[in-house]
Structures are given as C-alpha cells and as structure tokens.
Chain A
Amino acid sequence: MSKGARAGLVIVAFAAAIGIILFGVFGYLRTSPPVVSAVPAATQPNTVNVTMQVDGAVGVGPHPTWVGYWIQGANGQYKQTTLFKVPVNTYVHVKLYEYDSGGPIRNPYWGKEIGTAGNVIIVNGQPVSLVNSYAGNGVAHNFDVPGLGVNVALPGVNGNAKNFCNVGPCNPSEAHNLIQFTFYSGKIVHNYRWQCFVPCGLGYLTGNGGPMTSIGYMAGFVQVVK
C-alpha cells in the first residue's frame, strides 16, 4: 500500500472514530426528556401555573412497569417528563393529579407538607398540612425539592377503585386526587434537583432502583431561570 493510501486510511479512521464519539454523546448520552416551560401571564408577572400528574405502572414508554410523572405542556398535552422551567422570584401554582395508590411510608416525617404557601396543600378542596400514611389510602409519592425546602406528600387513591387508571397519561374521569399547592422559586438562578422520596421502584430491592433514579420518572429538575 502506498504512503498516500495509508495516510488516507488513517484520516478516514480518525474521522470515523470522531463520528462514533459524537454519535455516542449527542445521540444517546445527551438525550433527555423534554423540558416544559411555565411562562407567566402578562397580567400576573410573578405567578406561573404548572399542571402535573403522577401515574402508576400503566404501560407507557420504554419502561412500561415504572411509575412516573407527566407535565402538561403549553398545548395542553401531557409529556412524560420531570423537567420544567420557571422564572426566578415567582410563585409556582401546581395542580397535580395523583392517579397512583398509596401506602405507609417508612419515615412519617415525609408526610408533613413543608415549603408550600402556608405549609399546606389542598387535597380535593380540603387543606392538609400532614398526611398520615398509616390511615386512609396512605402516601403514593412525594414531590421534594430540597434546595427550595419543599416537601409535598401526595395522598394515594384507592387501589381497588373500579375506574383505576390503566394507560398513561391518565385522565380526570379515572380515580384520582386533585392536589394543589404553591411554592416560591427563590431569587437564585439554579437547576434545583427534585425527587420522589417514597421508594416506588416496583421490582427493585427496597423500591429504590429503576424509576427512583431516573430522570423522567421519579427524579427531575426545577430549572429556575431569569
């Protein structure tokens, strides 16, 4: 093989290697669920609304047996994601439809509503400051943003309900709890990690694998932007 041919071969090989690396980074590692932006209305500059739902293992996406959060986009369609963007110095009104059943939590402290306006949440129209997970339908999941001091325990629905949701995204005609609360996004631009602290990785040891460690299911970010 001539020197020129060898040089060409080496250049092609390097180009192929760079192509593979770029594909690996941008085709896989950099992929993430979509980000939903919450934009304030012109009349209420320091307030945004975020609508979410939490589904049980209802057979959608690459992991059909995982529980997960969905967030409603600007067009009213739900997206399976845990990433949403809110402005800084803003009150975030969250309307959350809880479609999953609940149970006792290992640490009763996580049943306390903290960091929301008045340290309460509104469950089906009733104010609640503490969810006793050993009574009623227990706690299904929670929504925790440690960086903002937010802990919201989400009461579960009756697992034996006749119209229990089977396919995500669920809709309000199916058994659910409507939970509303407000939290403050703070004055600092930051990506705040949030996480469900109720181990709900069904099939994983102590419930702590799978959806619990995955963005798009039970972990996500509140992106506080200017």
Chain B
Amino acid sequence: MAIDMSQSTGVGQSGGAGGSTAVKWFARGNIVSATVLGAGGWFFGHWWGNVIAGQYTSVQNSGTNDVSWLLGAIFATVAWFIGLGALNHPIAKLWGGEAPLPEKKEKYSIWEYFSYSTDHKVVGIQYLFAMLMYFFVAGLLALGIRTELLSPTYHIWGPDTYIEIVGEHGTMMMMMMTSVIMGPFGNFLVPLMIGSKKMAFPRLEAVSFWFTVPAFFFLLSALWQGGFQSGWTGYAPLSIQGGVGQDAYLFSFALMAMSMLAASTNMVATIINYRAPGMRWSRLSVLAWGMITTAFTMILSVPVLIDGLYVMGMDRAVQTSMLYGQHGGSPFLWENLFWFFGHPEVYLLALPGFAMTTEILPVFARKPIFAFKTSVAGMIGVATLSFFVWQHHLFNSGMNPDMRPLFMLSTELISIPTGFLYLVGMGTVWRGRLRFNVPMLFMLSVFFNFLWGGITGVYNSDVPVDALIHGSFFVMAHFHFTIMGQLMFAVFGAIYYYTPLFFGIKLSEKLGKIHFWTMFIFFNSTFLPLFIVGWLGQPRRVFEYAARLQTLNQWVSISAYGLGLSLAFFVVTFVWQLVVSRPKSEQNPWDSRGLEWLVGIPVPKDNFEQIPVVLSSPYEYGNPNAGPMADLAPSISSVGSDA
C-alpha cells in the first residue's frame, strides 16, 4: 500500500505573492474575504440574471426571477471559495508554481478554525460545530412545529409559514445527518485509526467542509423568501411552481451533495491507500469500516441527487419541462431520481451510527467485538441492498403495481443485515464487564430506540400496511426513531467519548448523565405517542388536525419542549466546560486500545512521529496475551517485515 512516510504533511496552505501584510492576509484567504467576495458575487450574479431574464414573460407575470437567484447563488459560492483561498493552489500550479508548505505550529489558534485548513483535525472540529449548528437550528424549527400543533384551532403560524418551517426542518436535518459522523468523526479519527498523518486529499477535505457553510445559509434564507412548500422531498409539480425559496432548497441541497461527494471520495482513497503497515482489513476499526461503506454508498447515490436537482433547476429557471407532465415530462422522473439517492441515504445515516456504536461498546464492555466479520458483512449488506429499495416510497404514487412485491421483498430483506449489526451489539455487551459511563449509556439507548424504529420499518415496507399509514405521523415517528433515536444518540455518545481527544477536556459525568436521562425520556415521550397519532389518522405536513387528537398532540408537544430543554442543557454545559471551566482530561481516559488514543492528548500536529506498525486488533479487550495495538516507534526492519 502507498504510504506517506515523510515527516511533514506536505499539505499546502496557499500563500499570496508579494505586497503588504494586509494584502497577503486577504490574498491567502479567510472567512472575512470569503464573506466579502461571496456577497459581491451574489450581487453580481443577481444583477446579471435580471439582465438576462428580467423580460421573460414568466418573470414579469410572477415577479419571481429564478435565473437571477440561481446565478446569484452560483457566483456567490464561487466567490466564497475564491475568498477562502481554495483556488490559490490550483492557480499557482497552473502558473508553474508550487504550493507553499503550511506553517508549523505547536498549538492551534482559534483563527485556524475559521480558515481553509487542510489539517484533518481542524476540519473535523469545524464539521462538529457546523453540524451541531445545523442540528440545533433545525431542532428549534421542530419546536416551532410542535408549538403550532398544541391546538387544532388556534394557530401560531399561518399555514404557509407552517409548511415553510416543516420543509426547512426536514431538509436541514437530512442534510446534516448525512455528514454528522463522517464530517467530524470520520475526518478527525480515520487517519489516526489507520495510522496515517493525513487524509489522502486534504484540499478536497477542506472543500467538503466549506460547502456546508453556504449550504446552511442558503437553506436558512429560504425562510425569508417564502420557503418551499414541497418539503424536503421536493416533489414536482410543487417544486416547480414554488417561489425562490425552492431555489434555495435545490441549491443548498446541491452544495451539500457536492460536499458529500468530496468527503466520501477522500474517505475511500484514504482508507484504501493510507493504512499503516500491518493495518489489515481485519484490524481496521469498525468506525473506519462504517466510513468506507458509507462513502461508497454516497459515491454511487449522491450524483443521482445532483442530477435530479439540476433537472429541477432547469425546469424552474429556463422553463424546460422535464418534471412537468402536461408538457411531456414526468414528475415520476424526480421521484425516482430523488429516492434512488434518498433511500440509500437513509441507510448511509444509519450505518455510521451503528459503526460508532459498535466502536465504542467494547471499550465499556471490556470485551472484543462479538462477531466482527458479521458486523462488517452487515454493513456491506445494508449498503448493497440499500440500492434496491427506493421504490417502496412510491407504493402509493401510481407506480406499476407489479413492481410492488419486488420492492416489498427487498425492503424486508434489508432487515437481515441490519439485524446482524443489532445482534453484534447485543453479543458484545452480553456478559461484559459493563461500565455505565455517559458514552455507554448513549450507545445502549441506541439499541432501545432503534428497536422501535426498526420493527415499525418492517411494517411500513408491507404494501397493505403502507397503503394505510403512508403520509401519516406513524411514518414520521418511525423515521425519527431510526434517525434521531439511533444516529443522534450515537453522535452525542461519541461527543462525550471523543471530547478528550478533540479538545483535551473530559466532560462531567454528572452533567452528562442528566443530559442523557432527560434526553432519553423526553425523546421517547415525544415520539412514541406519534405512532398512535399516526395510526389514528393524523397526516404529516398539515397544520390542522382532528380535535379528538388534541390531548395526544399536547402530550407530544410538551415532551418536545422537555427534549429541547435537555438539548439546551447540553449546549450550555458543553460550551461552558469547553470555554470556561476546561476540566482537563487524563491520557486515554476510557482505557481504550484504539490507535487513535495511543498518540496522546493533545494529538500531535502530525499525528505520528513515524508511521506506526499495527500489531493487533483494536478490540482485544479481556485478552491477557494481547500486546499493544501498534508499535509507534518501529525500526526499519519491523516496517519491512510487515509491509
């Protein structure tokens, strides 16, 4: 395997040419220059779009110019990356120059987290805060939804504002969930776990993160532009007849899709090519396995989403009719393109959650992973089958009825590899010497929550049942259990677990347990009754409902406030401990065998002084004969013997 054995990362932070310090600072790129240039790009593109399309009949009649909005967004994004300095390196190379090496520092400055950094640890932390921002903003929107649903008759929002909030919440959450593990934890941890000094394509890694920032603001801006009535699924013709808020939806989703592609390409290249000597596939951490299966799923499915969004953009901006039936197009085209991405996406949310859970469980069970190969087979099985289930979303959409049994069967089949992952977790904790620290509590709750989501998923996949509950709160409760109940609980557990490595601090167990128990209780109290509400016939995305369902809805809304308070408690205590009290962590506080913990806290800038030689599996807990996982200072002969 190809390994970078050099001492330096060799990754360039592009520098400017001559000139004053201020000019150099601006030319090198940073968030200030990116914002200034991005705003300029927006105004230029918007103006140009008005020049081009201002006289279109459709623009004059509706007063809505999609061309100017989309051109504004495109120019703003390109200018944003120019401002960040993302193009300095390729332009320097085009002119025959070389990218300068990054400045060596012993300690990260706060400024580095706002720059176009090519350090995987900085990118991981950037991702962590960005994804948490997505999550909490979308969570606030969820509270807006639940506030409206306190009463079937008294309205907090107008119906148009309500559907704006629902669409915004769903899209923001779905965009965030795709990257909430691969972004922070994948980028930060994978090089450490495989014994590498860096990711394969550090600039691609930086690009992947910096796509998510304009994506967030463009998406949020939809709220101020009439929103998008189509919700996160963007079905035509709603998506074509919507106002410019729909442009914000499609453009931000496209940016996030490009981020996913960049991140996943980088992840695959890194894990395949940058493993240290001795890091066989059988010694690869489960998290890294989860990352590579997820990344392959993204690489195969995300381009289809980008294609669909492009088609939608063309229909909206230049009046093609690819999704408009009356002019020869077909709304089914969008539904198929979207769900060909959308359903693998659901599993590429679940896979990292299971991978993270399986990674952390053995540390607190003090046992090796039960049936490691079955776990890997489960992930590969889920990833593969996830491409054969998308039409179960179209059971009620007028699809060819003969296709229904096939997709019902394939959807039910996927519960088998998913069951592998579940049972591996159960087997790992079985007869373990369990330590109920906060990360472990979160990981155990993943299995409780996922049980509800998984079992109801089997019912949803059956055509007769789906015909009854399609579009109801039952389905909504199902996917909140599988996504929030599984993935987000795994994420919070991972935050508590990896905070020592990321920030050098160890979060309070007492505060963490308050956070866990309140979140766990209120989460279940919020979403379990929604199965009943859905069963009783309450449809999704509708701001009014039958008066007989008010009590249940009030219960759910009050529980949602409790859940919101629990998450607010986490934010306050997390930020307070991170910035103010800074409780210092000891080295390897969880007594983990993982290679990522062996490098010490804080993690050295280049991760490893020398590329380590991996000697054993990271999960040999309870094995008295197991040596250390890796030799961090190998002699030349030991490198040669294994490679």
Which of A95-103, A157-165, A214-222 participates in binding chain B?
Answer: A214-222
B316 CB to closest chain A CB (Å) equals: 9
**Do A64 and B63 contact each other (CB < 8 Å), given the known contacts A7-B580, A10-B579, A29-B165?**
yes
- Against A, the Cβ 8 Å flags (1 = close, 0 = not) of B216-229 are 00000001101001
A167 to B224, alpha carbons, bound, how many Å?
26
Q: Is B237 an interface residue (CB 8 A)?
A: yes
A68 CB to closest chain B CB (Å) equals: 13
A43 to B237, alpha carbons, bound, how many Å?
51
**Do A29 and B161 contact each other (CB < 8 Å), given the known contacts A65-B61, A201-B62, A201-B241?**
yes
A209 to B360, alpha carbons, bound, how many Å?
49
A140 to B455, alpha carbons, bound, how many Å?
51
A1 to B438, alpha carbons, bound, how many Å?
30
Which residues does chain B contribute within 8 Å of A201, judged by CB atoms? Answer: 62, 241
Which residues does chain B contribute within 8 Å of A65, judged by CB atoms? Answer: 60-63
B160 contacts A190, C-beta separation under 8 Å: no
**Do A204 and B229 contact each other (CB < 8 Å), given the known contacts A10-B575, A29-B144?**
no
B60 contacts A21, C-beta separation under 8 Å: no
Residue in contact with B243 in the complex, picked from A7, A32, A210, CB distance below 8 Å: A210
In residues 4-37 of chain A, which contact B (Cβ within 8 Å)?
Answer: 6-7, 9-10, 13-14, 21, 24-25, 28-30, 32
A193 contacts B62, C-beta separation under 8 Å: no
A205 contacts B324, C-beta separation under 8 Å: yes
User: Most B CB atoms within 10 A — which of A7, A24, A65, A209?
Assistant: A209
In residues 224-244 of chain B, which contact A (Cβ within 8 Å)?
Answer: 224, 226, 229, 237, 240-243
A6 to B582, alpha carbons, bound, how many Å?
11
Which residues does chain B contribute within 8 Å of A209, judged by CB atoms? Answer: 62, 229, 241-243
In residues 241-298 of chain B, which contact A (Cβ within 8 Å)?
Answer: 241-243
Q: Is A46 an interface residue (CB 8 A)?
A: no
A210 contacts B64, C-beta separation under 8 Å: yes
Q: Is A226 an interface residue (CB 8 A)?
A: no
B53 CB to closest chain A CB (Å) equals: 12
A221 contacts B155, C-beta separation under 8 Å: yes
A201 to B156, alpha carbons, bound, how many Å?
26
Residue in contact with B237 in the complex, picked from A6, A191, A205, A215, CB distance below 8 Å: A205
Q: Is B153 an interface residue (CB 8 A)?
A: yes
A29 to B164, alpha carbons, bound, how many Å?
10
Q: Is B525 an interface residue (CB 8 A)?
A: no
Q: Is B140 an interface residue (CB 8 A)?
A: yes
A218 CB to closest chain B CB (Å) equals: 11
A215 contacts B158, C-beta separation under 8 Å: yes
In residues 140-167 of chain B, which contact A (Cβ within 8 Å)?
Answer: 140, 144, 153-161, 165
A193 contacts B159, C-beta separation under 8 Å: yes
A28 contacts B223, C-beta separation under 8 Å: yes
Which residues does chain B contribute within 8 Å of A214, judged by CB atoms? Answer: 160, 226
Interface size on B, residues (CB 8 A): 38
Q: Is A213 an interface residue (CB 8 A)?
A: yes
Q: Is A203 an interface residue (CB 8 A)?
A: yes
In residues 318-342 of chain B, which contact A (Cβ within 8 Å)?
Answer: 324, 326
Q: Is A202 an interface residue (CB 8 A)?
A: yes
A22 to B58, alpha carbons, bound, how many Å?
36
Q: Is A106 an interface residue (CB 8 A)?
A: no
Interface size on A, residues (CB 8 A): 37
A9 to B57, alpha carbons, bound, how many Å?
52
Q: Is B59 an interface residue (CB 8 A)?
A: yes
A4 CB to closest chain B CB (Å) equals: 9
A145 CB to closest chain B CB (Å) equals: 13
B580 contacts A3, C-beta separation under 8 Å: yes
A189 contacts B61, C-beta separation under 8 Å: no
A3 to B165, alpha carbons, bound, how many Å?
39
Q: Is A206 an interface residue (CB 8 A)?
A: yes
**Do A203 and B63 contact each other (CB < 8 Å), given the known contacts A191-B153, A210-B243, A221-B155?**
yes
Residue in contact with B229 in the complex, picked from A9, A29, A213, CB distance below 8 Å: A213
A210 to B581, alpha carbons, bound, how many Å?
51
A63 contacts B63, C-beta separation under 8 Å: yes
Q: Is A208 an interface residue (CB 8 A)?
A: yes
Q: Is A66 an interface residue (CB 8 A)?
A: yes
B144 contacts A21, C-beta separation under 8 Å: no
B160 contacts A219, C-beta separation under 8 Å: yes
Which residues does chain B contribute within 8 Å of A6, judged by CB atoms? Answer: 579-580
- Which residue on B lies nearest to A202, using beta carbons? B61
Q: Is B572 an interface residue (CB 8 A)?
A: yes
B153 contacts A190, C-beta separation under 8 Å: yes
A154 to B158, alpha carbons, bound, how many Å?
25
- Which residue on B lies nearest to A192, using beta carbons? B153
Which residues does chain A contribute within 8 Å of B129, judged by CB atoms? Answer: none
A204 contacts B160, C-beta separation under 8 Å: no
A30 to B576, alpha carbons, bound, how many Å?
32
**Do A203 and B64 contact each other (CB < 8 Å), given the known contacts A9-B579, A209-B242?**
yes
- Against A, the Cβ 8 Å flags (1 = close, 0 = not) of B611-623 are 0000000000000
Q: Is B412 an interface residue (CB 8 A)?
A: no
A63 to B226, alpha carbons, bound, how many Å?
11
A65 to B61, alpha carbons, bound, how many Å?
6
**Do A203 and B155 contact each other (CB < 8 Å), given the known contacts A7-B580, A214-B160, A215-B160?**
no
Which residues does chain A contribute within 8 Å of B62, judged by CB atoms? Answer: 65, 201-204, 209-210
A10 contacts B576, C-beta separation under 8 Å: yes
Q: Is B544 an interface residue (CB 8 A)?
A: yes
B237 contacts A30, C-beta separation under 8 Å: no
A213 contacts B160, C-beta separation under 8 Å: yes
A219 to B160, alpha carbons, bound, how many Å?
9
A189 contacts B579, C-beta separation under 8 Å: no
Task: Give A residues with C-beta under 8 Å from B.
Answer: 3, 6-7, 9-10, 13-14, 21, 24-25, 28-30, 32, 57, 63-66, 189-191, 193, 201-206, 208-210, 213-215, 219, 221
Task: Give B residues with C-beta under 8 Å from A.
Answer: 57-64, 140, 144, 153-161, 165, 223-224, 226, 229, 237, 240-243, 324, 326, 544, 572, 575-576, 579-581
What are 10 A-B contacts defined by CB distance under 8 Å?
A9-B579, A10-B576, A10-B579, A10-B580, A29-B144, A29-B223, A203-B59, A215-B160, A215-B161, A221-B155
Given pairs A10-B575, A30-B156, 16 additional interface contacts (CB within 8 A): A6-B580, A9-B579, A13-B575, A14-B575, A21-B140, A28-B223, A29-B223, A64-B63, A65-B63, A202-B62, A203-B57, A204-B241, A205-B240, A206-B241, A210-B64, A221-B155
